[in-house]
Amino acid sequence: MKKSLVAIFLATVLAVNCFAVNKKIVMDGSTTVLPIAQAAAEVFMDANKDIEISVRGGGSGVGATSLVEGTCDIANMSRSMKDSEIQKAAGRGVIAKANVVAMDGIAVIVNPSNTVSALTKKQVKDIYTGKISNWKQIGGQDVKIVVISRDSASGTYEAFGSLALDAQKVRSDALTMASNQQIAVTVSNTPGAVGYVGLGFISEKVKALSIDGVIPSKKSVLTKEYVYSRPLFMYTNGSPKGDVKKLIDFIKSPEGQKLVDEQGFVALK
């Protein structure tokens, strides 16, 4: 009697699961786009109770691989897809389509106790490629520079490499962190540190430097005055359709762009 009750209960639970009507959208990839994706997902799910959105972040590279393998519907990326990724996608029958959802500036941040407030593009490149190792060489205190970078899965890493370093190698003794947030936390804890994060990750705990005289801000990114400006993408398989299209249209709409702005990034208009 007891055994058959347990069996019936299990069968019912499993059967009910099969009838679950929640449609699912999976977003994966960039940790820069992550706050935008999460904010949009929350508002979207409130307005559409039958759609379930899950957002993951492992870096733009992870998003690209995920889209190619079909394990996500939207790949958040803070860089454009590489040719090799597009080819791999085509080989699997996935046509990667880019949808620009916001603009972003990569800010170079230092600890608030650092006396340096401005750098030139060349100085940033020299710090990150290993030519400058002490803050006193660029007018700061006599403190060793602790260079912080991202690991290779990061779109911000690739974007910074092409915008700031002219595709040269980051110095081999740079620390590597897994996300924008981790860089922000480490820079705020380490007096001699320098790191790079998306605009939305600047807070009072870190100091954003002006590069070539331009302070990173929404205005200077929109007018392209700030040198490290870049678009943020959401890649889909082919043109967005159905619920995915609804979500991306929502993010591009004035209401969605307001969320982008609230998260600290730059809205498209």
Report in angstroms how near the CB of residue 98 gets to another protein at its nearest. Answer: 18
Question: In sequence order, which residues have a C-beta less than 8 Å from that of residue 220 and are 6 or more positions away?
Answer: 105, 214, 226, 229
Residue 251 lies near another protein (rule: CB under 8 A): no
User: By CB under 8 A, which span of 169-177, 210-218, 233-241, 260-268 interacts with another protein?
Assistant: 169-177
Q: Report the DSSP pairing between strands 146-150 and 229-237.
A: unpaired
The DSSP letter of residue 50 is T
Minimal CA–CA distance to 210: which of 106, 119, 138, 110? 119
Exposure of 6 in the CB half-sphere (CA atoms within 13 A): 3
Residue 166 lies near another protein (rule: CB under 8 A): no
Is 182 in contact with 105 (CB distance < 8 Å)? no
Q: How many residues bind another protein (CB under 8 A)?
A: 33
Rounded distance, CA 94 to CA 87, Å?
A: 9
Question: In sequence order, which residues have a C-beta less than 8 Å from that of residue 168 and are 6 or more positions away?
Answer: 125, 129, 161
Residue 144 lies near another protein (rule: CB under 8 A): yes
Report in angstroms how near the CB of residue 175 gets to another protein at its nearest. Answer: 5
3-state class (DSSP) for residue 97: strand
Report in angstroms how near the CB of residue 126 gets to another protein at its nearest. Answer: 18
Which one of residues 131, 169, 205, 258 is an interface residue with another protein (CB under 8 A)? 169
Residue 151 lies near another protein (rule: CB under 8 A): yes
Residue number with CB closer to another protein (67 or 221): 67
Which one of residues 61, 200, 216, 256 is an interface residue with another protein (CB under 8 A)? 61
Handedness of CA 99, 105, 110, 111 (dihedral sign): negative
User: By CB under 8 A, which span of 56-64, 106-114, 227-235, 241-249 interacts with another protein?
Assistant: 56-64
Residue number with CB closer to another protein (128 or 226): 128
Enumerate residues 103-142 that contact another protein by CB under 8 A.
none
Interface residues with another protein (CB under 8 A)? 58-62, 64-65, 68-69, 84-85, 88, 143-144, 146, 151-153, 158, 167, 169, 172-178, 186, 189-190, 192-193
